[in-house]
Amino acid sequence: MIISDVKVYTVKPRWIFVKITTNNGFEGWGEMVSGTKTETVVAGAYEMSRRIIGRNPLEIEKLWQELYRVFFKGGPINMTIISGFEMALWDIKGKYYNAPVYELLGGSARDRIKVYSWIGGDRPSDVVDDARDRVNRGFDSIKMNATEELHYIDSFKKIDEVVERVAALRETFGMDLNIGIDFHGRVHKPMAKVLAKELESYRPMFLEEVVLSENQEAFKQVADHVTVPLATGERLYTRWEFKNILSSGHIDIIQPDVALTGGILETRKIIAMAEAYDIAAAPHAPYGPIALAATLQVDVCSPNVFIQEQSLGIHYNKGFDLLDFVENKEIFQYKDGFVGLPDKPGLGLIIDEEKVKEVAAEGLQWSNPNWKNYDGTKAEW
């Protein structure tokens, strides 16, 4: 069995799907992150595909090492391409052995997977109504963006507005609702310490990306101010970029992204490293159905994963939902804030390729907002 073909589809709202086919008819699906360089990722994927066509798709580790170990390693473009390929190869391998991927990674460590839903919250909005909608849909855990853009030193009025939104959730739902708060790397160290301290009394489930991951030394300063668990990791690639985070002891939850870290096995390795440091994991997965399905395979066999991000029901810019390209929609059926273990071979997905082709024909132009501070300087999004 050899890899005979690679196809890449750009799919609204912001997804890049890849399908790898073998000469004997096996098909595997993966997903890449579009970000702001969709055409670069697609072109790079086709260029890199020449290195795997004609190769044995079951030799995943060998292929991964050959794709990764070039002179200029890492980075979001290379790593998301490798991630998409790697997911698709595991999908093929699972189908070849007629087993879910997690069974090939040691088997299940749990009976079900806890999930949370995102509700926005960074701008003036009725977060209570959004949270109530999620509670009515069976979730007991949500994540909200904390704040709009913040300068290095900014108005305490903005801090008060964040606190008011979180306070409203606590007053309405009490401690029955778990609230993750995502600073999204928008907050610089001086205001991060202030905001984290102000939010501590509301007992958030975690504070995410309180500063950008490149400012890792600031995690200690925030951790010294609060006892709330701190989370980070969605912008880190491979286990080598997680080493200092894990050994520093200031981060309590890592959030590797299966579509950026190099795929399923690399994410599993990172989470296993975290377990050795008594650190929890809550993988980043706000994208499409393939990346989420791949992440669930990691969750099943990783005991320190305590909750999983997902975006079912969130339509970006009137785009498409997780389920719109999936024939077996029951794979993402949630009950009481949990999703069951996948039981079909490979990633467990049956992709509606005709729907994928139809939407891909419309093209994809996705870009993140270009935020500015009050004085015109560039703000983090």
Closest to 44 measured CA to CA, from 89, 91, 15, 6: 6
Instruction: State both tokens at 240.
Output: 């080598």
Maximum CA pair distance of the chain?
Answer: 63
Q: Assess whether 184 carries a catalytic annotation.
A: yes
Phi then psi dihedrals of residue 334, to 5 deg: -100, 145
Q: Assess whether 284 carries a catalytic annotation.
A: yes
Q: Which of 151, 184, 225, 250 is catalytic?
A: 184
Inter-residue contact 253 to 230 (CB < 8 Å): yes
Q: Which of 151, 188, 250, 284 is catalytic?
A: 284
Phi then psi dihedrals of residue 5, to 5 deg: -160, 150
Q: Which residues contact 286 (CB under 8 A, 6 or more apart)?
A: 118, 309, 310, 311
| DSSP for 61-73, written as a single string | HHHHHHHH-SSS-
Instruction: State both tokens at 45.
Output: 């994927």
Question: How far apart are alpha carbons 374 and 153 in whole angstroms?
Answer: 11
Active site residue ranges: 184, 284
